[in-house]
Structure 1
């Protein structure tokens, strides 16, 4: 039953669609910017054209260009999860066209709030709906027909505007938190580059750092997978950590147990993924059996486990050079044990680790804030966009 004053319609009744264009390079002086699928990673709203690719074309018509309040949808992509994703253009600062892998949507009249429609088509529910339209499985190409037949319900225009304004408040809070998080992550990265290499020293510390092989300062255990017939879900034996599938938020999160114990890790050990993706770092929250996709690392006496953890975080992206094999990437025990590491004194290790751990805590708090804001907006959308909660106009 529709809320009072609301209207059932389809996207095709309020919006015209046009497939994108396949431009070929030209020697002409007609330079325009073109939105491609890669630009959809910038977010759901595009108001700046700085990062768009430029191309020279022989000629183009006015209808080849985007205008204020246009929408673009991903029509086709190898990554099916991107199909149906939307970009909204509240402002178009210069001539911009759109590529052949997109579909443009343009509102037909002024009785529809573009911001309200944006809240619908940029949402997770909308993408899931159009991806499952027709066959019940993910589509490989989005068509104008699928878009046109997408049902929606519309409140009167004043209510549309009020709902859009409320949801936009959450969008601004989410965007602000995303920026704070990105800044904190960048600052942490810069701190790691300075503090973990000795380029920047904390107050009160002097003296040369010493170079060591990892096997001289850490115990390294390479995992070995038990036989599958010993796997169980009843808690018999130890939790089994096989690889990245058993890691969540950089903490061990085992799915099954094994009664055959091969190699083990202890609570607090550093866990290093040694099979694709190589180099991912986490911490063991369990005394567990480790399979061949995991290596556990624990420092020897006189060194800081927290410093070692931060060090491995700092070199996560370097392991590809050590990866072996054509079917999947992997590193072996010798690769890890021969790794060289510069170490300061134990007190300096602890001080550096404390600074970087504080930065991690700030990042975790911002990630928690961001998750909460997204959940709040999602719940609010379910109420406001269905009319379950009405707004005062």
Structure 2
């Protein structure tokens, strides 16, 4: 019989992936922990303690461990209850334990004390159906995002391996490609070794570009992350980030995993040690180089050469020695424009997903104040 654990209770949905199984005898002996479609589960312990879902997609009854079971009944729509318990109000009650203290384990006594807006079943069902439609829209957008990402990866592989070639504007064929090291086709600049004592949180200074500011293809700003430099910068001119620079983190858990971006409006920051700039040279399109830097080929290269003891990192020489296929500037530009257009579509879908999630969150807050 299927055996449900806390990892099967996800944030608002029931996951049937990685189910364990128990004998029928075990299942029959443990009647209190039997679950059925329509029950609502709350994870009691672990990293996802407090996550809630309604049970669905079970082909048979099942058993479970380390979850609170709210049994299906005729007065409650299970999806409605799950939506409330996943709302800000519901989560606040779960994580406060109903008594204000932090709870490492959630239990049935605390679950019984949760209060929620109670409507007639018909209205509960209408609310659940409406918000389920929002979830379906988010799911569709997420699938679209995944398909676009897969399409881009496939096109990158075909373009970089020359299975697909562009032609010149006059219809003629471009010449043969060569090979080039990143250090030969870009100007590589490595960050200045600032002393941590020179970094302040006074935003009247010059912002510093540190590895922690570099996210997956974007820069991250926040009060907790940003640091500034207040002293004379006249001798640090070469370390200033310019528009259209590739900024690449050289260490951290995500090194070589999209821990890079091309500056658009974040110029003016000072580059800190363990962060490098790849700057455009003549006959090089920096956006073409960037597509290589965020490619799976670069990921594999970094996995081969990075130092993994302590904090994973790569050296400046390893970045400079990374070799890419190198067509003429015009073909580089066509490839970069094509892939950047896909990136823009992916970004639009990403924003639509975030907007839908924000809208849903706002609806939940208004419904379940």
Interval containing the TM-score (normalised by the shorter chain): 0.7 to 0.9
Counterpart position of 1:111: 75
The answer on 1:299 being equivalent to 2:268 is: no
Counterpart position of 1:21: none
Q: Cα–Cα, structure 1 residues 202 and 37, in superposed 2: closer, same or farther, change >3 Å?
A: farther
Which 10-residue stretch deviates more, 359-368 or 373-382? 373-382
Distance between the aligned counterparts of 1:217 and 1:85, measured in 2? 50
The answer on 1:317 being equivalent to 2:299 is: yes
Q: Name the TM-score, length of structure 2 as normaliser.
A: 0.84
Distance between the aligned counterparts of 2:205 and 2:368, measured in 1? 50
Counterpart position of 2:26: 60
Which structure has greater strand proportion? 1
Distance between the aligned counterparts of 1:271 and 1:212, measured in 2? 20
Counterpart position of 1:363: 346
Tell me, yes or no, if the aligned pair for 2:37 and 2:61 is still in contact at 8 Å. Answer: no
Shift in Å, 1:255: 2.2
Match runs of 1:102-251 below 5 Å? 102-107=67-72, 109-133=73-97, 136=100, 138-203=102-167, 205-235=173-203, 238-245=206-213, 247=215, 250-251=218-219
Q: Cα–Cα, structure 1 residues 158 and 38, in superposed 2: closer, same or farther, change >3 Å?
A: closer
Secondary structure of the 1:251 match is coil
Distance between the aligned counterparts of 1:237 and 1:322, measured in 2? 36
The answer on 1:265 being equivalent to 2:247 is: no
Distance between the aligned counterparts of 2:330 and 2:155, measured in 1? 18
Shift in Å, 1:55: 3.4
Counterpart position of 1:330: 313
Distance between the aligned counterparts of 1:137 and 1:217, measured in 2? 59
Unaligned runs of 5+ in 1: 1-31, 387-393
Tell me, yes or no, if the aligned pair for 2:9 and 2:51 is still in contact at 8 Å. Answer: yes
The answer on 1:283 being equivalent to 2:251 is: no
Shift in Å, 1:203: 4.8
Distance between the aligned counterparts of 2:189 and 2:42, measured in 1? 49
Which 10-residue stretch deviates more, 267-276 or 257-266? 257-266
Q: Cα–Cα, structure 1 residues 233 and 52, in superposed 2: closer, same or farther, change >3 Å?
A: closer
Distance between the aligned counterparts of 2:101 and 2:335, measured in 1? 51
Counterpart position of 1:274: 250
Secondary structure of the 1:61 match is helix
Q: Cα–Cα, structure 1 residues 65 and 196, in superposed 2: closer, same or farther, change >3 Å?
A: farther
Aligned length: 347
Deviations 1:100-141 (CA, angstroms, capped at 9, x unpaired): 34333313x301122211211233442343123267565332
Shift in Å, 1:235: 5.0
Deviations 1:65-104 (CA, angstroms, capped at 9, x unpaired): 4212012222222x3xx21112322342234333x34333
Counterpart position of 1:29: none
Q: Name the TM-score, length of structure 1 as normaliser.
A: 0.79
Shift in Å, 1:149: 2.0
Distance between the aligned counterparts of 2:81 and 2:293, measured in 1? 45
Shift in Å, 1:272: 0.9
Distance between the aligned counterparts of 1:148 and 1:371, measured in 2? 33
Unaligned runs of 5+ in 2: none
Counterpart position of 1:389: none
Tell me, yes or no, if the aligned pair for 2:134 and 2:356 is still in contact at 8 Å. Answer: yes
Distance between the aligned counterparts of 1:139 and 1:187, measured in 2? 45
Shift in Å, 1:206: 4.4
Distance between the aligned counterparts of 1:302 and 1:209, measured in 2? 13
Shift in Å, 1:325: 5.2
Q: Cα–Cα, structure 1 residues 294 and 101, in superposed 2: closer, same or farther, change >3 Å?
A: farther
Choose which of 23, 42, 48 in structure 2 pairs with 1:73.
Answer: 42
